């Protein structure tokens, strides 16, 4: 079986699972859970096999499939793996079975619909990462909205309708401008090449005037900043996280928040390089502002879920900072930070959900001393909190250290030559986010795990075997990326070099990422 066939199986397996779910017996939930878990597990095993087979040091796509779809428009079913999406596909596949396992007790009604929507969401997210045709990318980008809308709106908390409407309005608003940019690029490719095309490789080769690039990048930037989310477009995130069920929060923080940064990485910056250079100071300023402001907001929250939600704004700011450094270390650090944040935030949202299942409370003020009653819970919470802070040997350290190193490397030449101090100042301010991150996470740990033991409803039970397996898997991945990141960095190095070259030395003949 060729790798291209396997990659197509990876993408379409969730659809098959979602179509089979309605055929299962109505009176029992176990077959539904078993089917969803089996589909996600097989998908993960196939992705691991593709990861092993992926050749390092090779430019361009691997395991690609390209089939004409709407030839008159230049639309094709074109998917493939490269160093930019490989780790994100692996992250998405890893979280899939864990979310299914974590939803067993959380989802108690409309079980079939929930797992069907979870599988459809998995399909849409993977499709967004794998798509190599801009029109196809946009279809998957929009398709993600539907299952997440239902997951929050049906299984969410008391204010789920408000949170869902806000989430949809923000996302749809950005998508409208993005659609205009997609259509324009398709028309521009037709005019330049004599044939319609939405292929990334063709769009990278377009020579567009700076004013046109600027308008297009503005359209993409609005859509991508909302998805990241970056300030001042972040206000939908806390509401969505607080009202979403725990599995929805895990998918939202673990994967969906990466879509905006991936959009900049794959589309916005390399496709419009001259405008990207023009926008760099503004985008870097927003990234650093998000790092600091997100950390400050997390510091003053009393809802545990909001603390983790606002911390995501801060951590995703590092991703943008790394991408905008235009340095190899910073670009690779941004990719590692996306994966690291996906693992850590997923673990923390799992733990918040586990505590909520036992106590039906999330207010930090009503908890204390849980380490005495729930020692295993406390151990995992400490490990995840320290990873979030960026403790050496964890993935949090690997991602943030590489991002900061890349940011300083990128800023230093201009500083030495006396051209500009601005980038160096921003890189220095970004370090403040590490300090603030330690403050709000250690505050959370101290108040939740230590002091006099207290919890609503009395002593809660410690973690079950199923919950321990979920968290142990995430912790193992976090320490693997922290202790020995070389194999993962090696897989992304060539794509990061190609991305850097496309930004700094764009040429029409250059092959796509």
Residues 32-59 pLDDT 10s: 999 999 999 999 999 999 999 999 989 8
pLDDT band at 415 (very low <50, low <70, confident <90, very high): low
Cβ-based neighbours of 237, under 8 Å, separated by 6 or more: 229, 257, 309, 312, 313
Cβ-based neighbours of 118, under 8 Å, separated by 6 or more: 36, 99, 100, 103, 147, 151, 247, 251
Please state the rounded mean pLDDT for residues 203-230: 93
Report the sign of the C-alpha dihedral through residues 110, 113, 237, 256, in that order. Answer: positive
pLDDT band at 71 (very low <50, low <70, confident <90, very high): confident
Q: What does the pLDDT read at residue 28? A: 67
Q: What does the pLDDT read at residue 416? A: 56
pLDDT band at 510 (very low <50, low <70, confident <90, very high): very low
Q: What does the pLDDT read at residue 409? A: 86
Angstrom distance (rounded) from CA 93 to CA 45: 9
pLDDT tens digits along 419-441: 667 888 888 999 999 999 999 99
pLDDT at residue 261 greater than cutoff 90: yes
Angstrom distance (rounded) from CA 468 to CA 464: 6
pLDDT higher at 220 or 158: 220
Q: Are 65 and 78 in contact (CB under 8 A)?
A: yes
Q: What percent of the chain has pLDDT over 70?
A: 96
pLDDT band at 79 (very low <50, low <70, confident <90, very high): very high
pLDDT higher at 96 or 507: 96
pLDDT tens digits along 272-300: 999 999 999 999 999 999 999 999 999 99
Instruction: Give 206's DSSP letter.
Output: -
Q: What does the pLDDT read at residue 122? A: 97
Nearest to 115 by CA among 28, 33, 19, 23: 33
Q: What does the pLDDT read at residue 64? A: 94
Q: Is 401 exposed, middle or buried (0-12, 13-18, 19+ CB in 10 A)?
A: middle
pLDDT tens digits along 297-328: 999 999 999 999 999 999 999 999 999 999 99
pLDDT tens digits along 112-137: 999 999 999 999 999 999 999 999 99
Q: Are 388 and 326 in contact (CB under 8 A)?
A: no
pLDDT at residue 509 greater than cutoff 80: no
257-283: b or e for each residue (b if 16 or more CB lie within 10 Å)?
bbbbbbbbbbbbbbbbbbbbbebbeeb
Q: What does the pLDDT read at residue 418? A: 59
Q: What does the pLDDT read at residue 511? A: 43
Claim: this prediction has a pTM higher than 0.85? yes
Q: What does the pLDDT read at residue 507? A: 45
pLDDT tens digits along 442-484: 999 999 999 899 999 889 999 999 999 999 999 999 999 999 9
Hey, which residues does 79 pair with through a beta bridge?
Answer: 65, 131
Q: What does the pLDDT read at residue 25? A: 82
Q: Give the H/E segment covering residue 69.
A: strand 62-70
Q: Is 465 exposed, middle or buried (0-12, 13-18, 19+ CB in 10 A)?
A: exposed
Q: Are 143 and 127 in contact (CB under 8 A)?
A: yes
Q: Are 408 and 427 in contact (CB under 8 A)?
A: yes
Angle between helices 236-243 and 304-323 (to 10 degrees): 130
pLDDT tens digits along 349-398: 999 999 999 999 999 999 999 999 999 999 999 999 999 999 999 999 99
Alpha helices per DSSP H over 390-421 = 395-416
pLDDT tens digits along 221-247: 999 999 999 988 888 988 998 899 999
pLDDT tens digits along 143-198: 999 999 999 999 988 889 999 999 989 998 999 999 999 999 999 999 988 888 99
């Amino acid at each position: 079986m060729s790798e291209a066939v396997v990659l197509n199986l990876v993408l379409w397996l969730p659809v098959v699972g979602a179509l089979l779910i309605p055929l299962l017996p109505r009176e029992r939930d176990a077959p539904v859970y078993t089917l969803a878990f089996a589909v996600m597990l097989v998908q993960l095993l196939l992705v691991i096999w593709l990861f092993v087979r992926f050749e390092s040091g090779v430019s361009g796509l691997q395991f690609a499939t390209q089939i004409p779809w709407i030839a008159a428009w230049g639309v094709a079913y074109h998917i493939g793996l490269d160093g930019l999406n490989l780790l994100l596909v692996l992250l998405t596949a890893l979280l899939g079975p864990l979310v299914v396992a974590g939803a067993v007790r959380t989802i108690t009604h409309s079980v079939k619909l929930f797992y069907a929507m979870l599988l459809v969401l998995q399909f849409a997210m993977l499709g967004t990462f794998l798509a190599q045709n801009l029109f196809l990318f946009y279809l998957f980008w929009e398709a993600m909205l539907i299952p997440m809308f239902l997951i929050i709106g049906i299984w969410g908390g008391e204010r789920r309708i408000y949170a869902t409407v806000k989430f949809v309005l923000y996302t749809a608003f950005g998508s409208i401008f993005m659609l205009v940019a997609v259509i324009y690029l398709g028309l521009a490719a037709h005019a330049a090449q004599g044939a319609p095309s939405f292929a990334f490789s063709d769009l990278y080769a377009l020579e567009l005037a700076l004013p046109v690039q600027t308008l297009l990048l503005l359209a993409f930037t609005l859509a991508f900043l909302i998805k990241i989310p970056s300030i001042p477009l972040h206000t939908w995130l806390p509401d969505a996280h607080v009202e979403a069920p725990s599995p929805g929060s895990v998918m939202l923080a673990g994967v969906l928040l990466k879509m905006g940064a991936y959009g900049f990485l794959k589309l916005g910056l390399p496709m419009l390089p001259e405008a990207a250079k023009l926008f760099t100071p503004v985008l870097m300023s927003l990234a650093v502002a998000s790092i600091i402001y997100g950390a400050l907001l997390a510091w003053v929250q009393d809802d545990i879920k909001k603390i983790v939600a606002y911390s995501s704004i801060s951590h995703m700011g590092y991703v943008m900072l790394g991408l905008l450094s235009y340095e190899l270390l910073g670009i690779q650090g941004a990719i590692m930070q996306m994966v690291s944040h996906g693992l850590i935030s997923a673990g923390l949202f799992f733990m918040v959900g586990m505590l909520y299942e036992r106590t039906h409370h999330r207010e930090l003020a009503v908890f204390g001393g849980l380490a005495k009653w729930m020692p295993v819970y406390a151990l995992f919470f400490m490990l995840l909190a320290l990873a979030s802070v960026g403790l050496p040997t964890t993935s949090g350290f690997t991602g943030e250290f590489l991002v900061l190193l890349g940011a300083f490397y990128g800023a230093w030449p201009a500083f030495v030559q006396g051209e500009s101090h601005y980038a160096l100042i921003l890189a220095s301010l970004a370090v403040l986010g590490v300090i603030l991150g330690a403050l709000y996470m250690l505050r959370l740990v101290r108040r939740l795990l230590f002091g006099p033991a207290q919890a609503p409803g009395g002593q809660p039970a410690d973690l079950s075997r199923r919950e321990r397996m979920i968290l142990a898997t995430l912790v193992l991945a976090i320490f693997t990326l922290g202790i020995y990141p070389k194999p993962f960095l090696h897989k992304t190095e060539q794509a990061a070099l190609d991305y850097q070259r496309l930004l700094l030395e764009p040429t029409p003949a250059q092959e796509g990422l």
